[in-house]
């Protein structure tokens, strides 16, 4: 798997609170602030500030303050020249104590738009100049898993090793309220006029639609249109965040939006020529992820019960990736991730983080016998009370494990019949949100 944040920005995982960080180049129209966290069960209040500086008396363009004590409410305000201005009180609470949340603060010409858990919450008009906002601050009773500044486009990025059958491209972003159109191209190079294997264009002018097409030898080919009748299930709507997945198979591209299929587009340009992803127009991008494994309709599995036993690793082969998003509760001593063989007798790869010892034990159980443990580790990537995003990739040599975007360790294959490895097991002391194959 490879990950790319927006140009100039990278996500910050599990920061301590209070949290304060500069916004490079200051906040601009069309940019977004993304926060993923958990509200503790005993939380009384927390706040997010978009400030003009790091000092306590710096002006605050936007103060967002959920309060749980007494009557649940959210207070919105600004702070200028040492004093608070007129506050807006919203008697509707989008956060739940003891629950996780995702929040996006978007910026447009009129003000700030706040979305919580993929739903519009409230807008707040500009009272101070947006281009003076240079600091993000988070304070109070909240645990933060990830903070990201969603940058602007155009974006042009190389696809390392080129696009291949079985790969997927996952794009997280948000469409501004005033958007007219945006596009995504899978291209055969970065030069002007290069061939385009897949052109996806979301257009809001006139009759809402999504246009799919390709370009060869400088000329556009026959376009395919998806009309707005489908958008009720697969939304790419103004003011809304989205998750867009492009699945590459032998016949072409399958395009999913927010876990629903939007459309399919056949190969017109040889897949091995595709080497560049370009995104442009009225859209902001949070993250771009490439995975090298096969994607089936059950690729994203939400996890509601533990332990997890996923018999979904059929056709195990090289250049595959599994992504696990989870939470290590406070007090957890250890948890386990196992890659099992089809008879469930052997464990090809045993991954066992032990928080109290500060190690991640790696091993294999073959023929009823455990092998030599591997414990060497440059840092402990898992911590109690923190979220994690773990990507487990494998090739002909072995497994490579990345946690929160950082390489943690490698593990050479000891069980070499890869096609017999078909089950993922996750158990003990960890809460898992979802698993992606």
Three-class HEC string of 170-235: EEEEECCCCCCEEEEEEECCCCCCCCEEEEEEEECCCCCEEEEEEEECCEECCCEEEEHHHCCCCC
DSSP letter string, 114-138: EEETTEEEEEEE-SS-GGG--EEEE
CATH number for 155-291: choose from 2.60.120.200, 3.30.750.24, 3.10.450.50, 1.10.3720.10: 2.60.120.200
DSSP letter string, 150-175: EB-S-EEEE-TT---TT-EEEEEEE-
Minimal CA–CA distance to 88: which of 63, 56, 108, 54? Answer: 63
CA pair distance 117, 94, nearest whole angstrom: 8
In this chain, the answer to whether the domains covering 2-150 and 300-436 adopt an identical fold is: yes
Q: pLDDT tens digits for 360-399? A: 999 999 999 999 999 998 889 898 877 787 888 777 788 8
Minimal CA–CA distance to 71: which of 51, 101, 92, 53? Answer: 92
- pLDDT score at 404: 72
CATH number for 2-150: choose from 3.40.228.10, 2.60.120.200, 3.10.20.30, 3.50.50.60: 2.60.120.200
Q: pTM to 2 decimals?
A: 0.52
Determine how β-strand 276-281 pairs with β-strand 155-158.
Answer: antiparallel
Q: pLDDT tens digits for 15-49? A: 889 999 888 778 888 788 889 889 999 999 999 99
CA pair distance 364, 339, nearest whole angstrom: 9
At residue 425, the 3 state secondary structure works out as strand
CA pair distance 212, 140, nearest whole angstrom: 46
Domain locations in the chain?
2-150, 155-291, 300-436
Q: 140 vs 17, 65, 148, 185, 223, CA distance in Å?
A: 7, 9, 19, 42, 51
Q: Class for domain 300-436, per CATH? A: mainly beta
- pLDDT score at 231: 45
pLDDT tens sequence for the chain (437 residues)? 333 444 434 567 778 899 998 887 788 887 888 898 899 999 999 999 999 999 999 999 999 999 998 899 999 999 999 999 999 999 999 999 998 888 989 888 899 999 998 788 999 999 999 989 999 999 999 998 888 876 656 777 767 667 888 777 878 777 888 888 999 999 998 778 899 999 999 988 877 789 999 999 999 999 998 875 444 444 677 877 787 889 888 899 999 887 678 889 999 999 989 988 888 888 877 667 666 533 333 344 444 455 666 665 554 555 567 778 788 888 899 999 999 988 778 999 999 999 999 999 999 999 999 999 999 988 898 988 777 878 887 777 888 888 876 778 999 999 988 888 888 899 888 888 767 66
- pLDDT score at 266: 96
- pLDDT score at 378: 82
**327: burial class by Cβ within 10 Å (0-12, 13-18, 19+)?**
middle
């Amino acid at each position: 798997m490879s990950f790319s944040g927006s140009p100039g920005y990278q996500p910050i995982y599990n920061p301590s609170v209070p949290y304060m960080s500069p916004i490079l180049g200051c906040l601009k129209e069309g940019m977004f602030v993304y926060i993923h966290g958990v509200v503790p069960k005993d939380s009384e209040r927390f706040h997010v500030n978009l400030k003009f500086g790091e000092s306590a008396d710096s002006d605050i363009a936007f103060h967002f303050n959920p309060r749980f004590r007494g009557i649940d409410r959210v207070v919105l305000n600004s702070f200028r020249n040492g004093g608070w201005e007129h506050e807006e009180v919203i008697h509707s609470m989008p956060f739940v104590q003891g629950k996780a949340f995702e929040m996006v603060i978007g910026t447009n010409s009129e003000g700030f738009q706040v979305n919580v858990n993929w739903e519009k919450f409230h807008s707040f008009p500009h009272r101070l100049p947006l281009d003076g906002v240079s600091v993000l601050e988070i304070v109070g009773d909240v645990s933060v898993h990830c903070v990201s500044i969603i940058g602007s486009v155009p974006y042009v990025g190389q696809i390392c090793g080129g696009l291949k059958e079985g790969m997927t491209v996952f794009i997280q972003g948000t469409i501004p309220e005033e958007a007219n159109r945006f596009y995504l191209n899978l291209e055969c190079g970065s030069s002007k006029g290069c061939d385009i294997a897949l052109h996806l264009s979301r257009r809001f002018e006139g009759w809402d639609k999504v246009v799919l097409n390709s370009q060869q030898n400088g000329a556009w080919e026959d376009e395919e249109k998806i009309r707005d009748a489908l958008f009720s299930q697969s939304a790419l709507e103004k003011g809304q965040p989205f998750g867009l997945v492009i699945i590459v198979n032998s016949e072409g591209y399958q395009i999913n939006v927010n876990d629903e299929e939007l459309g399919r587009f056949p190969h017109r340009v040889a897949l091995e020529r595709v080497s560049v992803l370009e995104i442009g127009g009225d859209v902001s991008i949070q993250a771009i992820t490439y995975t090298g494994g096969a994607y089936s309709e059950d690729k994203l599995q939400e996890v509601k019960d533990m332990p997890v036993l996923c018999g979904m690793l059929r056709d195990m082969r090289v250049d595959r990736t599994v992504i696990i998003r989870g939470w290590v509760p406070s007090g957890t001593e250890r948890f386990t991730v196992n890659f099992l063989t089809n008879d469930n007798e052997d464990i090809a790869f045993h991954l066992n983080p032990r928080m109290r010892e500060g190690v991640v034990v790696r091993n294999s159980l073959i023929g009823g016998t455990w092998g030599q443990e591997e414990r060497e580790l440059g840092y402990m990537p898992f911590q109690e009370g923190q979220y994690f995003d773990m990507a487990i990739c494998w090739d002909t040599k072995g497994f490579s494990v990345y946690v929160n975007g950082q390489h943690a360790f490698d593990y050479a294959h000891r069980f070499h019949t890869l096609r017999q490895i078909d089950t993922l097991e996750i158990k003990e002391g960890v809460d898992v949100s979802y698993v992606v194959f």
